[in-house]
Structure 1
Amino acid sequence: MKLICEKNKLQEAISTSQKAITGKSTMPVLEGLYIEAVNNVLTFIGSDIDLSIETKTQAEVIEPGKIVVDNRIFGEIIRKLPNDKVIIETIDGNIIQISCQKSVFNLVHMNADEYPSVPNINENIVFSINQSILKNMIKGTIFATAQDETRPILQGVLFEVNNKNLNLVALDGYRLAVKSQVIDTDNSINVVIPGKTLSEVSKILEENEEKVNITFTENHILFNLGETKIISRLLEGEFIKYSSLLPQEHKLLVTVNRQELLNGIERASLMAKDGNSNLIKLNIEEDNMVITSNSQLGKVREEVSINLQGESLQIAFNSKYLLDVLKIMEDDEVLLELSSSVTPCVIKNKEIDNCKYLVLPVRLVK
């Protein structure tokens, strides 16, 4: 193999494809980056079996070939080279030589034939969606995935297409996040994508109107961004019927400025860091909400102006769960739907009806 490629093109392709490499595999070859050079195209693949990222870039291929190189050291070498053309060629046995200006590296490579093949997905496009919209939907739900491994299905995000609506849903037993978008497809889909996959997809998606094409098989999902393809296995099992968790009615409706509420809870939570509960109390009155927190560190009282429809209420929450939601919402004003001190709080935008968040309260010992 022998090729010439611009350093910045190499670096970008390496950075994208190595996002799939965890370094936790029992197969040493999966700690490497697969590189194939043919017809003036360089293909890079990073994989941990569950997630594979393939990306292509243009290069002058003098001799075609394929190799697997240590992902970490190869990435570091390319990153630290001057901004110029890089020559990569295989020399004796299992060595590649990387040259750029006055720098020359010799690096051991592995046998590309031992690299597991990427799942082959027939790309009958199920639907397309703007990259920026999907990126925003992932950001608006992924924080609510479960972190512990006792219920693996909850470590994923439900990807549901129904009646020309795409819903992304995540829940961890304490909160529920639902983000929705109208899309142009007649397909129905109900699959669960690992949170880790969507986290990496979100990093690769651009904030633009370019489309990402999405295809499913029984066991895998493919995100095609043109030069880059992301293939992930799907989680097995049935996702919780989330719609039954959302209360159909409420007794109180609070309208509040999102930023003022966010700032008040952030300040109150400074005193709530004693222990792991991050406990804050909300005293909801006719036209204001008093936020308090007491701990061994001291106490705090914050007041936020609100509009209340319904009776007054005292309720307590883990402040982290409220902050996670308020930080990613987009409207200036948000609605809080409540019924009692022991039933969930539903948070929505006032204007844009594209999300619902449910947060369980903390029961206070009387």
Structure 2
Amino acid sequence: MNILCNQKKLANAITNAQKAINNKTTIELLKGILITAKNNKLTITGYDNEISIETSVESQINKEGTIVVNSRLMGDIIRKLPDTFVSIETDEDYNVFINCLNSRFKIKGLPADEFPKQEELSMDNMIKFNQAELKNMIRQTVFATAIEPINPTLAGELLDLNGDKVNLVALDGYRLAIRKSNLEESIDSDINAIIPGITLNHINSLLSDEGNLFVGLDSKNIIFIIGDTKIVARLIDGNFTKYESLLPKEYITKIQVNTRNLQECIERAALLFTSAKNNLIKISITDGLMVITSNNENGNAYEEVSIEFEGENIDIAFNSKYLLEGIKNIDSEFINIEFGGSVNPAIIKPVDGPEYIYLLLPVRLGN
């Protein structure tokens, strides 16, 4: 291999590929990135048995070839080089020579023959998404996926496509987040797929606020094409919970409140908490007023926030972390919160903006 490449573009491609690498792996080959110089194109690939991320970079290919190099070491070297062109050469003993102006490096590589090969997915029938819209959809839902759940489907999000409608749904047993949107072009048949939450976090880090991306699926995998970057990931097998049936049909109390005012009150009340296991806040709602209190061995906190109110007075308690995560991901100036009673789920919705639903189970209050 003998190539010449722009330092910034190469550094960016390596950074993208590194997102797919599991740093806990003991397999030396999977600690590396695959560098492929072929067909007048340089491709950098990272893989961890679940997800593959590859980015193509414009390069001058003087001699084709492939090699695997340690991801951390290669990335650190390239990012520290000057903003100019970088020369990379390899020899038959898998040595990698990196030259840039007055900098010279020689590092050891590995043969690329045993680097895992991803299945080739069909590029037909790709679905177009707006990058900024999908980025917001993921941001507003992915936090509600479960960590190490008993039911593996809860570690992912449901991508629910119907005609020109798209829903992204996350559920962990304590809360449910649903973000709805529209596709620019309708699809012919319904699609349901469960995408790992960790994959969506990787995707979100690659999305920008401009342009489109394309998504394709088969029965086992999903592919994302974002500019010169291709991500292929395994889907989660199983049946996702019928989330629509979890949404309450009626409420006994409904309030409207300024989103940021409520967020700041909860954040202050939560300052007393030093443990994720002891972070309960109590909310008391009466006509025109919401009172938020917290109480533990560190002391107590009291907050008031003005509301618009209809229905019955209510006392209810929530995990403050879960409540905050739903509220701070809403972009609307005001939110509506619907309560079905002190032991039933509450529903939080923005007053305006994209359609978003956040359901949260309360914590039972002692006598």
> What range describes the TM-score normalised by the shorter chain of this pair?
over 0.9
Aligned to 1:192: 194
Aligned to 1:263: 264
Structure 1 vs Structure 2 CA RMSD: 1.3
Q: Is 1:332 matched up with 2:333?
A: yes
Normalising to structure 2: TM-score of the pair? Answer: 0.97
Partner Cα separation in structure 2 for residue 12 and residue 353 of structure 1: 32
| Mapping of residues 245-256 of structure 1, within 5 Å | 245-256=246-257
AA partner of residue 334 (structure 1): I
Aligned to 1:145: 145
Q: Name the SS for the 1:121 alignment partner.
A: coil
Partner Cα separation in structure 1 for residue 105 and residue 87 of structure 2: 10
Q: Is 1:29 matched up with 2:26?
A: no
Partner Cα separation in structure 2 for residue 117 and residue 106 of structure 1: 27
Partner Cα separation in structure 2 for residue 6 and residue 17 of structure 1: 17
Normalising to structure 1: TM-score of the pair? Answer: 0.97
1:92 Cα shift?
4.8
1:152 Cα shift?
1.6
Q: Name the SS for the 1:276 alignment partner.
A: coil
| Mapping of residues 331-350 of structure 1, within 5 Å | 331-350=332-351
1:170 Cα shift?
0.5
Q: Name the SS for the 1:365 alignment partner.
A: coil
Q: Name the SS for the 2:202 alignment partner.
A: helix
Farther-moved stretch of structure 1 (1-10 vs 149-158): 149-158
Cα distance per residue 1:224-281 (max 9 Å; x no partner): 1130111000001111111111101111111111111111111111124466131111
Farther-moved stretch of structure 1 (265-274 vs 210-219): 265-274
1:151 Cα shift?
2.2
AA partner of residue 365 (structure 1): G
Aligned to 1:201: 203
Aligned to 2:132: 132
Partner Cα separation in structure 2 for residue 246 and residue 277 of structure 1: 27
Question: Contact (CA 8 Å) 2:17, 2:45: kept in 1 or not?
Answer: yes
AA partner of residue 140 (structure 2): G
Partner Cα separation in structure 1 for residue 288 and residue 273 of structure 2: 25
Farther-moved stretch of structure 1 (149-158 vs 250-259): 149-158
| Mapping of residues 1-366 of structure 1, within 5 Å | 1-25=1-25, 27-183=27-183, 184-186=185-187, 187-208=189-210, 210-273=211-274, 276-366=277-367
Question: Contact (CA 8 Å) 2:11, 2:75: kept in 1 or not?
Answer: yes
Partner Cα separation in structure 1 for residue 19 and residue 44 of structure 2: 12
Q: Name the SS for the 2:113 alignment partner.
A: helix
Partner Cα separation in structure 2 for residue 345 and residue 272 of structure 1: 23
Question: Contact (CA 8 Å) 1:5, 1:58: kept in 2 or not?
Answer: yes
Q: 1:235 to 1:275 in 2, by over 3 A?
A: closer
Partner Cα separation in structure 2 for residue 100 and residue 352 of structure 1: 50
| Percent identity over paired residues | 42
Partner Cα separation in structure 1 for residue 2 and residue 228 of structure 2: 22
AA partner of residue 306 (structure 2): S
1:115 Cα shift?
0.9
Q: Structure 1 stretches of 5 or more lacking a match?
A: none
